[in-house]
């Protein structure tokens, strides 16, 4: 067998070996990426137990029911807390969204902020030292009361929304805002990926 043929056979063997190694590395990388893509958000109703939300007393009614929103996705989870009684239906919806990039979360945050820029309503209020950026939107023309109001925050690729509905007269805006801040702090402290919970707002 000629030297050139022997060299060629050795070269091909080495090439096949390298291709095999590269293929194995590529397969492992794909598996890791797929496993990462399959990471799901935590169940919000578990992170924020009903009894703890009830203890915050956001409304004059007692908590009547809590449940996850139907049809969650890998990048969106929420929990609804109802404080219903006859002819009175206040509630809170706590949502967690995960984006692929921080820039996408920021775009969603700014879009939420713009929804509160109605000249006929009280504008949003920035809240400092909670997450990357946080604001409270009153959705009301009354400085003391609100019916549909809420807190929106972003931390990295995550967006948190804590929305209130109901009891315009019975539950004052300051009470709802204080409860929203407490709920946000609970999420920041309990959900992996949201820490540290104390950084200055960027917006």
Assessment of whether the complete model's pTM goes beyond 0.85: no
CATH number of 44-190: 3.40.1000.70
What confidence tens digit (pLDDT) does each residue in 89-133 have? 999 999 999 999 999 999 999 999 998 888 888 889 999 989 999
Output DSSP code: residue 88: B
Q: What are the residue boundaries of the structural domains of the chain, listed by start?
A: 1-38, 44-190
Question: What pLDDT, on a 0 to 100 scale, did the predictor assign at position 137?
Answer: 95
- Residues 150, 180 contacting (CB under 8 angstroms): yes
What's the CA gap between 127 and 135, in Å, rounded? Answer: 5
Question: 93: Cβ–Cβ under 8 A, 6 or more apart, which residues?
Answer: 69, 78, 79, 80, 81, 161, 162, 163, 165
From first to last of its 203 residues, the chain has per-residue pLDDT tens of 555 545 445 544 554 544 444 444 444 544 444 444 445 799 999 999 999 999 999 999 999 999 999 888 889 999 999 999 999 999 999 999 999 999 999 999 999 999 888 888 888 999 998 999 999 999 999 999 999 999 999 999 999 999 999 999 999 999 999 999 999 999 999 998 886 545 444 44
Question: What pLDDT, on a 0 to 100 scale, did the predictor assign at position 54?
Answer: 98
Output DSSP code: residue 42: P
- Residues 58, 175 contacting (CB under 8 angstroms): yes
Question: 81: Cβ–Cβ under 8 A, 6 or more apart, which residues?
Answer: 50, 53, 54, 63, 65, 66, 91, 92, 93, 94
Question: What pLDDT, on a 0 to 100 scale, did the predictor assign at position 119?
Answer: 82
Token pair 């030297």 in the structure block, residue: 3
What's the CA gap between 56 and 47, in Å, rounded? Answer: 15
């Amino acid at each position: 067998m000629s030297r050139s043929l022997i060299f060629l056979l050795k070269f091909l063997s080495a090439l096949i070996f390298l291709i095999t190694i590269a293929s194995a590395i590529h397969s492992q990388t794909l598996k890791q990426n797929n496993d990462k893509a399959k990471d799901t958000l935590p169940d919000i109703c578990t992170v924020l137990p009903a009894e703890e939300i009830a203890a915050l007393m956001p409304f004059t009614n007692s908590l009547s029911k809590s449940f996850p929103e139907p049809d969650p996705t890998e990048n969106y989870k929420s929990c609804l807390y109802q404080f219903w009684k006859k002819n009175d239906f206040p509630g809170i919806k706590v949502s967690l969204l995960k984006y692929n990039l921080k820039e996408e979360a920021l775009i969603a945050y700014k879009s939420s902020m713009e929804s509160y820029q109605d000249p006929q309503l009280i504008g949003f209020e920035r809240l400092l030292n909670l997450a990357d950026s946080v604001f409270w939107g009153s959705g009301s023309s009354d400085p003391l009361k609100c019916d549909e109001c809420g807190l929106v925050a972003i931390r990295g690729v995550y967006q948190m929304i804590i929305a209130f509905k109901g009891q315009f007269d019975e539950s004052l805006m300051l009470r709802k805002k204080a409860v929203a801040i407490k709920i946000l702090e609970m999420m920041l402290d309990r959900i992996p990926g949201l820490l540290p919970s104390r950084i200055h707002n960027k917006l």
